[in-house]
Chains A and B, each alone.
Chain A
Amino acid sequence: MRIFDPHIHMTSRTTDDYQAMYAAGVRAVVEPAFWLGQPRTSPASFFDYFDSLLGWEPFRAAQYGIAHHCTIALNPKEANDPRCTPVLDELPRYLVKDNVVAVGEIGYDSMTPAEDAALTAQLQLAADHELPALVHTPHRDKLAGLRRTIDVVRESALPLDRVLIDHLNETTVKEAKDSGCWLGFSVYPDTKMDEDRMVAILRDHGPERVLVNSAADWGKSDPLKTRKVADAMLEGGFSEDDVDLVLWRNPVAFYGLSGRLALDVTDTDATHDGNSILRGGA
């Protein structure tokens, strides 16, 4: 079984996680730029973070036989802090990089005017750089947030079929699907979706244009949720081909819209025990 986790914050995870993910079948990940838990207070902190997503993290992933790409953006939460918004002016020099396969995570957190401005500007950047966009839907007031998100995308230069709307659930899946966007579901231990509800949604709405992710980060989360959904799909009567569609071909098709997806991990021996994630050389 081959698995592509289209949304996971590996910066917050250990090498044990990489090893377990590889053993579970994960061969590719996309790491969206997001909030780090501790608010940042200057653009320079973002630049070091973006550089890490384009440097050290793909190197770590390659040690474990996993292809790592990223999405770059000013996230919605920090778009509200005027100390951080100058990041928007520097995004173009990151959006040309080979490993950047989308603009993201963008979207709404509290649905403020500052978030409106950042979302609109970054949808335009995605169109300008011929990149798709990963759009997060808010945790609070989710359905209203989804509707406003779809309206803003419709008014933008980016077609809805180049947009992945993430963190969907039972209450938002139908309207999202009707809009023509790609459908993302984050499967978490306690919040967002769980495996069995995910299978029920796939049964009701079909596997087309559906992407399932662990969204694992520094909070309570599980980087193996993609595999657990795959197993639940098989137990629930879905075919191996359906599993491959949801957990490999759909994310490949969506991020492949960038023309930058490179899924060969050539410079590592996957069975080797992580040779240079070492303290001694530091």
Chain B
Amino acid sequence: MTDAPVIDGLRTRLEAALPGAARAWLDQATAEAAAHRGRPAQSTTPTWELRFAEAGRRCGQDHADAARVLLLHAADADPATLARVYGQGTAAERRAVLHALPHLVPGPEALPLVEDALRTNDTRLVAAAVGPYAARHLAPHDWRHAVLKCLFTGVPLDAVSELDRRARADAELARMLGDYAGERTAAGRTVPGDLHRVLALAAATAPSARAVSSTPVTPSTGEEQES
């Protein structure tokens, strides 16, 4: 599938970090997933999906995302499988599916999962939703709302992939950011520090941003996320 060097690198790093028993579990689980490639859907849950569920207690919570991404890649999970695994998943499992999307789905078919994650208020899911897959495929309106959602919920904009490319000279985004800053200021609240960074990008060559940049904003502590 796509991104083989990225996946190889992920695997090398994970194997180096895991103790022996967990590494053996990972080898076995990815082999089971690879053996399942191309098989038709079946009524019982495939073994690799059980492994996907138990990755946290086998590899430790810190390594669960990487292990789950490797399992999805080894199984060559198609969009229908990804949607099922996401839909039946815990928050941690959903996050792993979102991280796997750019490696498994070349087209926009998996966008409903990203949109679902962006409707939640779980910052772990919101942060995972604004990765490279969203950068590639999310429509402008939805992408702008995703950026605002990050600012609202306190997800650092470093989580947003290709922020520079997508935000640059986006007059509509600049307007939305300016309005948000104005609303915060009118309420006597601070403006998230990340807002200025993306506003500078969006307003770069957008004529309508001139009024926006003169909007008075209070110095941000970078900690204010209340709405």
Q: Which residues of A contact B (CB under 8 A)?
A: 51, 54-56, 58-59, 92-93, 96-99, 259-260, 262, 264, 266-267, 272-273, 275-282
- A34 CA / B227 CA spacing, docked (Å): 33
In angstroms, how far is the closest chain B Cβ from the Cβ of A82?
A: 23
The answer on a CB contact under 8 Å between B227 and A281 is yes
Q: Which residues in window 70-97 of B have CB below 8 A to A? A: 88, 90-94
- A273 CA / B223 CA spacing, docked (Å): 10
- Please judge, given known A-B contacts A59-B91, A98-B90, whether A276 and B121 are in contact too, CB under 8 Å: yes
- Majority SS at the chain B contact face: helix
- Please judge, given known A-B contacts A259-B57, A262-B61, whether A278 and B227 are in contact too, CB under 8 Å: yes
In angstroms, how far is the closest chain B Cβ from the Cβ of A122?
A: 19
CB closest residue in chain A, given B150: A281
- Majority SS at the chain A contact face: loop
22 A–B contacts, CB within 8 A, in A order: A54-B90, A56-B121, A56-B122, A92-B45, A96-B50, A96-B53, A98-B55, A98-B56, A98-B57, A98-B64, A98-B92, A99-B90, A260-B57, A262-B61, A273-B226, A275-B123, A275-B225, A276-B121, A280-B152, A281-B152, A281-B227, A282-B121
- Please judge, given known A-B contacts A275-B225, A281-B152, whether A262 and B56 are in contact too, CB under 8 Å: yes
- Please judge, given known A-B contacts A281-B153, A281-B227, whether A97 and B123 are in contact too, CB under 8 Å: no
| B61 / chain A contacts, CB cutoff of 8 Å | 98, 262, 264, 266
- A56 CA / B152 CA spacing, docked (Å): 17
- A278 CA / B126 CA spacing, docked (Å): 13
The answer on a CB contact under 8 Å between B56 and A59 is no
Among A260, A262, A280, the one with the most B-chain Cβ atoms within 10 Å of its Cβ is: A280
| B90 / chain A contacts, CB cutoff of 8 Å | 51, 54-55, 97-99
| A262 / chain B contacts, CB cutoff of 8 Å | 56-57, 61
Q: 12 additional contacts, CB 8 Å, given A51-B90, A273-B226?
A: A56-B91, A56-B121, A59-B122, A98-B57, A99-B90, A259-B57, A262-B57, A267-B124, A275-B153, A277-B121, A278-B153, A278-B225
The answer on a CB contact under 8 Å between A281 and B91 is no
**Complex partner residue of B153 from A99, A266, A267, A276, CB under 8 angstroms:** A276
Q: Which residues in window 109-139 of B have CB below 8 A to A? A: 120-124, 126
- A279 CA / B149 CA spacing, docked (Å): 11
Q: Which residues in window 186-226 of B have CB below 8 A to A? A: 223, 225-226
B154 part of interface (Cβ distance < 8 Å): yes
Please provide the 10 A-B residue pairs with the shortest distance between their CB atoms, ordered closest to farther.
A280-B227, A98-B56, A55-B91, A281-B152, A54-B90, A281-B153, A96-B53, A280-B152, A275-B154, A276-B153
The answer on a CB contact under 8 Å between A97 and B154 is no
CB closest residue in chain A, given B148: A281
- A179 CA / B13 CA spacing, docked (Å): 49
- Please judge, given known A-B contacts A276-B153, A279-B227, whether A98 and B121 are in contact too, CB under 8 Å: no
Among A51, A260, A264, the one with the most B-chain Cβ atoms within 10 Å of its Cβ is: A51
In angstroms, how far is the closest chain A Cβ from the Cβ of B136?
A: 23
| A96 / chain B contacts, CB cutoff of 8 Å | 50, 53-54
- A273 CA / B56 CA spacing, docked (Å): 28
**Complex partner residue of B54 from A55, A58, A93, A98, CB under 8 angstroms:** A98
- A260 CA / B53 CA spacing, docked (Å): 12
- A262 CA / B93 CA spacing, docked (Å): 16
CB closest residue in chain A, given B60: A262
| B62 / chain A contacts, CB cutoff of 8 Å | 266
- A280 CA / B225 CA spacing, docked (Å): 9
- A277 CA / B94 CA spacing, docked (Å): 19
- Please judge, given known A-B contacts A98-B92, A281-B152, whether A276 and B225 are in contact too, CB under 8 Å: yes
